[in-house]
Chains A and B, each alone.
Chain A
Amino acid sequence: MEFKRVVGTRRSVRWLKPWRPVEREKIQVMLEAANRASRSMNADYPRALVVNRDDIPEEVRETLYNPTTSVELDLAPTYIFWYIDMNYAQGAPDRLKELVKQHALSPSHGWSESYVDKFLWPQVLKPIAENPAILMFMGATEVGIAICNALNAAVDEGLGTCLHAFTAPEKVKQAFNVPDSWFPVWLQLVGYPLEEPEAGGQRPRKSLSYMFFEGNCDTPWKEDEKVTEKLKEEGLIQTPGPFPYREQEVRMLSRMFGLPE
């Protein structure tokens, strides 16, 4: 799928085929996409635990359910538990110097190994590493970028996926030996869409002129209609929801699984 169509097609797919497992290769594609995401300091922020629903012992699965999380866990054949490794700042000087050696960070932009050792680490990065609020902010931002790649990769692989509030983090930690330094972020549910791939149509978004600005924040971004039309042709902008049959689609799916209408 072309990049723009992937981004335009991505939306939270909550109806997944519970009977169809996801091929391991496709999960690897998602993980690789996440691993290739932008990351400051080239640090290892994202950590993920991939678990197939049917491989989880029944007694462990039961502990993951609660009155607000059960439908998704039953419908999705694969779960990816995403974490921030809160130790991500460790080793930052070495990683940055590696980038200097590779000329990814170069003197043209002010970089040198000496700068990393003498100033950047002791005066900038070490204080960040010692500040829990900044550590959390940066970790959440960077892991979010990685997850975004994984979401888009899933769409490109023909999968349905959505993010869900992390369920029972302490129980997951205990059941799957999650290290102490990992902080839970999102539970990504993965499977083959049971609903139409459009999942009722593209979700509503405010216009670019509402969201973004140019030059200063008093000047809204002005859309070029020709570009907008091109993006419609290329699939970044798609038919907005709800499709005329959406209500019926959800009703039928609900009945299929005995869920509330």
Chain B
Amino acid sequence: MSVENIKTVESVKHWIEDAGYNSPKRSQEVEHLLNELSDFCDFTEKDPDELVESCLRTTKSGDISISAKGRREIDDTIGEFVKSKGLSGHNAIVVGNNIRGFLIHNGVFMQGKVSL
């Protein structure tokens, strides 16, 4: 999914706004984040909304809930994605956490690794 297309997706717009990336000073940073998300979408063959949905499930009562299994799978996939890009150390953690940030701002509670 191209960066241009990703920009128009509601969940992505929400992420950029909610995380405070929408200030003009941060436009380059946003472009970089969108590129990473776009690459991850290509890697998973999912669009951003599908990424969020894969972390959710519908309960018996019809409520939408976070799927522990779905979240773990996405978390693992983020790890694989970062590895596939040949990243390691601090950079790997930052890229992985940027993608987690997209999911977090769309309501998926999760935590990534800490760069120490």
On A, residues with C-beta under 8 Å from B are 18, 66-72, 74-75, 247, 251, 257-261
| A-side contacts of B75, CB under 8 Å | 67
Q: Which residue of A lies closest to B95 (CB)?
A: A258
Q: How many residues on chain B are close to A (CB under 8 Å)?
A: 23
A67-B72, A75-B114 known; 20 new pairs, CB 8 Å cut-off, are: A67-B75, A67-B111, A68-B110, A69-B111, A70-B111, A70-B112, A70-B113, A71-B112, A74-B114, A257-B114, A257-B115, A258-B93, A258-B94, A258-B113, A260-B98, A260-B100, A260-B101, A260-B104, A261-B21, A261-B101
| B-side contacts of A18, CB under 8 Å | 114, 116
B97 within 8 Å of A by Cβ? yes
B90 within 8 Å of A by Cβ? yes
Contact check, A259 vs B116: say whether CB atoms are below 8 A apart: no
B43 within 8 Å of A by Cβ? no
| A-side contacts of B111, CB under 8 Å | 67-72
Measured CB to CB, the closest approach of chain B to A64, in angstroms, equals 12
Most buried by B among A68, A70, A247: A68
B9 within 8 Å of A by Cβ? no
| B-side contacts of A257, CB under 8 Å | 114-116
Q: CA–CA, A260 to B75, complex, Å?
A: 14
On B, residues with C-beta under 8 Å from A are 19-21, 68, 71-72, 75, 90, 93-94, 97-98, 100-101, 104, 109-116
| B-side contacts of A261, CB under 8 Å | 19-21, 101
| A-side contacts of B112, CB under 8 Å | 70-71, 259-260
Measured CB to CB, the closest approach of chain A to B109, in angstroms, equals 6
Most buried by A among B71, B101, B111: B111
6 A-B pairs closest in CB distance: A260-B101, A258-B115, A74-B114, A258-B94, A258-B93, A67-B75
Q: Which residue of B lies closest to A74 (CB)?
A: B114
Contact check, A258 vs B20: say whether CB atoms are below 8 A apart: no
Contact check, A68 vs B115: say whether CB atoms are below 8 A apart: no
Q: CA–CA, A104 to B113, complex, Å?
A: 52
Across the interface, A258 reaches (CB within 8 A) one of B68, B71, B114, namely B114
Known: A247-B20, A258-B93, A258-B94. A70 touches B114 (CB 8 A): yes
Q: Which residue of B lies closest to A259 (CB)?
A: B97
Contact check, A258 vs B110: say whether CB atoms are below 8 A apart: no
| A-side contacts of B114, CB under 8 Å | 18, 70-71, 74-75, 257-259
Q: CA–CA, A72 to B109, complex, Å?
A: 14
